[in-house]
């Protein structure tokens, strides 16, 4: 299936060894901090949702709109799993009802991010508590997501109305994380259409979004009439031919998830190639610049990309044989990145601001969420923490 894609050897400086006990203590203290922060946010947010990113250190509050509201609900589920405290579950369940109303009314659902939205809210609820209503909401969302699949181009269109010529046939690397909703829907219903679309999309993403050197385009246009590839470009990266850090991290995690559902080992190999490219372009403190092409400059960091990459690497390592030559280095890189995030990027309860993970970049060119906490950065940092400190079953 895949053409030849370069696999760079890992630079050994990222295989930093950490004292195991000290690292575990750091994680335990981080757990306490995030539980304190989520608990305070629970009181402050009420039944509203945080916006995509902080503005001047604080999340504006919104209704259940945009692509990011489930990152808050996902944090509530994780906090419930970490603490067993009923208040987290109770608010997560209220959030889930809001997601039910949203999909029933098709409010702000013209996006491939239905995967993020319904996996971390409703699928998580179904998996954790067996809530059948939540399962139904997630299946409705999967139907809506499937409508975005272009049969000829074999891709799920990322953004915009399907009749919008500007957006027609545009897929983006982030979508890899939206595919689990479709795979899950096929598992639940026995209807293979969802998984077939997800699988075909993952193959097209591997073919066209990943370059020969294992870097990724943020976005790629397909011709929806002929199915032919058109061209790659960026939306949030530095340049069309650079490598947007968060996109690379979505790819590492997302291709591993496609492996998980399909058993196709080529996706796992691809994740490794993307991981090596990513890990070889980290600055000294192991937290990536917002674009990997900016290594060696004083460009801002994207801590959210670092947290996503950690989760992806941890999932990847679960499926690599113990003798895999890169596995130990990946785990060392995870420790190095997490240690850096926990020491230098994680907010302290006594500090001002209400984001968890400081210093992300949402979209530099449009000056959105620049050097702020981002809701997905908060979520993936907490997911990484849970993965590293207790046994955890995926919501994805
Ligand atoms: N999925 C949009 C982003 O990562 O900014």
Determine the pLDDT at residue 179: 99
Q: Mean pLDDT over residues 311-323, rounded?
A: 98
The atom of ligand 1 lying closest to the CA of 362 is: 5
Q: CB–CB of 61/45 below 8 Å?
A: yes
Cβ of 302 below 6 Å from ligand 1? no
Q: What pLDDT is stored for residue 163 in this prediction?
A: 87
Catalytic positions, please?
113, 174
Ligand 1 close to Cβ of residue 246 (< 6 A): yes
- Ligand 1, residue 174: give the atom nearest the CA: 1
User: Phi/psi at 232 (nearest 5 deg)?
Assistant: -95, 155
- % pLDDT > 90, the chain: 96
Mean pLDDT for all residues in the chain: 97
Q: What is the mean pLDDT of residues 348-357?
A: 97
Q: Is the pLDDT of residue 17 over 60?
A: no
Decide: helix, strand or coil at residue 221: strand
**DSSP string covering 245-289:** HHHHHHHHHHHHHHHHHH--HHHHHHHHHHHHHHHTT--TTS--B
* Residue 190: partners with Cβ closer than 8 Å, 6 or more residues away: none
Answer whether residue 396 is part of any domain.
Answer: no
Cα(128) to centroid(ligand 1), Å: 26
How far apart, in whole angstroms, are the C-alpha atoms of residue 198 and residue 377?
25
CATH number of the domain enclosing 142: 1.50.10.10
- How, if at all, do strands 61-62 and 49-50 pair? antiparallel
Is residue 110 a contact partner of residue 77, using CB atoms and an 8 Å limit? no
Decide: 39 and 48 in contact? Cβ < 8 Å. no
Ligand 1 lined by 174 (C-beta under 6 Å):
yes
pLDDT tier at 327, thresholds 50, 70, 90: very high
Pocket test for ligand 1, best of 53, 68, 174, 176 (most atoms within 8 A of CB): 174
Predicted confidence (pLDDT) at residue 319 exceeds the cutoff of 60: yes
Residue 4 has what pLDDT? 86
Is residue 73 scored above 70 in pLDDT? yes
Ligand 1 atom 2, closest CA: 174
Residue 202 lies in a domain: yes
pLDDT single digits (tens) 101-111: 999 999 999 99
Residue 126 lies in a domain: yes
Helix (H, G, I), strand (E, B) or coil at 269: helix
Ligand 1 atom closest to the Cα of residue 236 is 5
Distance 294 CA to ligand 1 centre (A): 19
Confidence of residue 1 (pLDDT cuts 50, 70, 90): low
Residue 222 and residue 15 in contact, taking contact as beta carbons nearer than 8 Å: no
> For 91-95, 164-168, 306-310, which range has the lowest pLDDT when averaged over its residues?
164-168
Q: What is the dihedral of CA 101, 379, 392, 285, to 10 degrees?
A: 170
User: Is 263 a member of any domain?
Assistant: yes
Helix H or strand E segment including 170: strand 170-172
pTM above 0.75, yes or no: yes
Non-local CB neighbours of 212 within 8 Å, separated by 6+ positions: 3, 4, 5, 6
Integer Cα distance of 7 and 2 in angstroms = 13
Could you tell me if residue 1 is inside a domain? no
Pairing, β 229-233 against β 360-363: unpaired
Please check whether residue 57 lies inside any domain of the structure: yes
* 201 inside domain: yes
Centroid of ligand 1 to alpha carbon of 113 (angstroms): 9
- Containing structural domain, residue 65: 20-389
The verdict on residue 13 lying in a domain is no
Total domain count, the chain: 1
- Burial class from Cβ neighbours inside 10 Å (0-12, 13-18, 19+) for residue 165 reads exposed
């Amino acid at each position: 299936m895949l053409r030849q894609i370069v696999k760079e050897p890992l630079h050994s400086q990222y295989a930093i060894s950490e004292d195991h006990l000290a690292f575990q203590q750091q994680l335990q203290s981080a757990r306490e901090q995030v539980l304190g922060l989520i608990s305070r946010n629970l009181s402050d947010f009420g039944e509203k949702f945080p916006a995509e990113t902080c503005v001047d250190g604080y999340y504006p509050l919104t209704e259940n709109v945009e692509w990011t509201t489930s990152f808050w609900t996902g944090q509530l589920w994780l906090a419930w799993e970490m603490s067993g405290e009923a208040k987290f579950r109770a608010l997560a369940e209220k959030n889930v009802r809001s997601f039910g109303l949203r999909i029933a009314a098709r409010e702000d659902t013209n996006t491939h991010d239905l995967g993020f939205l319904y996996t971390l809210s409703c699928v998580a609820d179904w998996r954790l508590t067996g809530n059948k209503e939540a399962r139904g909401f997630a299946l409705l969302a999967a139907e809506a997501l499937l409508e975005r699949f272009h049969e000829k181009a074999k891709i799920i269109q990322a953004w915009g109305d399907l009749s919008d010529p500007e957006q027609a046939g545009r897929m983006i690397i982030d979508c890899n994380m939206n595919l689990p909703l479709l795979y899950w829907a096929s598992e639940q219903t026995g209807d293979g259409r969802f998984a077939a679309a997800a699988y075909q999309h993952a193959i097209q993403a591997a073919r066209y979004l990943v370059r020969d050197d294992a870097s990724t385009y943020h976005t790629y246009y397909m011709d929806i009439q002929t199915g032919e590839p058109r061209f790659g470009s960026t939306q949030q990266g530095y340049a069309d031919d650079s490598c947007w850090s968060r996109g690379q991290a979505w790819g590492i995690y997302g291709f591993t998830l496609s492996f998980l559902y399909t058993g196709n080992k080529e996706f796992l190999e691809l994740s490794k190639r993307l991981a090596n490219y990513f890990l070889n372009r980290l600055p000294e403190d192991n937290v990536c610049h917002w674009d990997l092409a900016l290594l060696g400059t004083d460009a801002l960091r994207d801590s959210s990309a670092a947290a996503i990459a950690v989760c992806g690497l941890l999932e990847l390592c679960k499926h690599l044989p113990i003798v895999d030559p890169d596995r130990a280095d990946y785990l060392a890189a995870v420790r190095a990145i997490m240690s850096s995030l926990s020491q230098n990027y994680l907010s302290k309860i006594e500090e001002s601001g209400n984001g968890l993970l400081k210093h992300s970049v949402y979209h530099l060119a449009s000056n959105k969420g620049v050097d702020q906490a981002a809701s997905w950065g908060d979520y993936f940092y907490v997911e990484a923490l849970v993965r590293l400190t207790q046994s955890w079953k995926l919501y994805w």
